[in-house]
């Protein structure tokens, strides 16, 4: 999953549309690559549940970083936070594709 602020509320940020646009491009870059993994994007409070103290909220709210994201890597709950080593290259390749898409899409 690719999270944008806010995680602690379902309220949208003033940059919500832009954050969603860029997050969608990141997820699409992964899906359209040879890896073809499917990432969801949006607020964690809408995709999963509300949570306070999440990184994307702090970076956006306290530091004013418009493009603030958190990512939950490829596992869907089977391995928890102990993803087997055989998935490391794939996870890294996914994130590189997504980061390239974000860099090209940001409006600075």
Q: What is the pLDDT of residues 41-92, one digit of tens each?
A: 999 899 888 888 899 999 999 999 999 999 988 777 788 778 888 888 888 8
- CA 15 to chain CA centroid, Å, is 15
- Does the N-terminal peptide bond of residue 6 adopt cis geometry, omega within 30 degrees of 0? yes
pTM over 0.85: yes
d(CA 91, CA 85): 10
Question: Are the beta carbons of 76 and 38 closer than 8 angstroms?
Answer: no
Choosing from 18, 56, 72, 94, which is the catalytic residue? 72
32 is catalytic: no
Residue 62 is encoded by which pair of tokens?
């306290």
- Beta-strand relationship, 2-4 and 41-43: parallel
């Amino acid at each position: 999953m690719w999270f944008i602020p806010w995680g602690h509320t379902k309220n949208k940020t003033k940059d919500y549309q832009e954050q969603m646009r860029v997050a969608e491009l990141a997820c699409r870059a992964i899906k359209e690559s040879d890896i073809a993994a499917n990432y969801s994007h949006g607020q964690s409070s809408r995709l999963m549940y509300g949570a306070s103290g999440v990184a994307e909220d702090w970076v956006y709210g306290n530091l004013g970083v418009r493009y603030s994201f958190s990512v939950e890597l490829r596992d869907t709950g089977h391995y928890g936070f102990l993803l087997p080593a055989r998935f490391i290259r794939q996870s890294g390749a996914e994130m590189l594709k997504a980061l390239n898409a974000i860099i090209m899409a940001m409006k600075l």
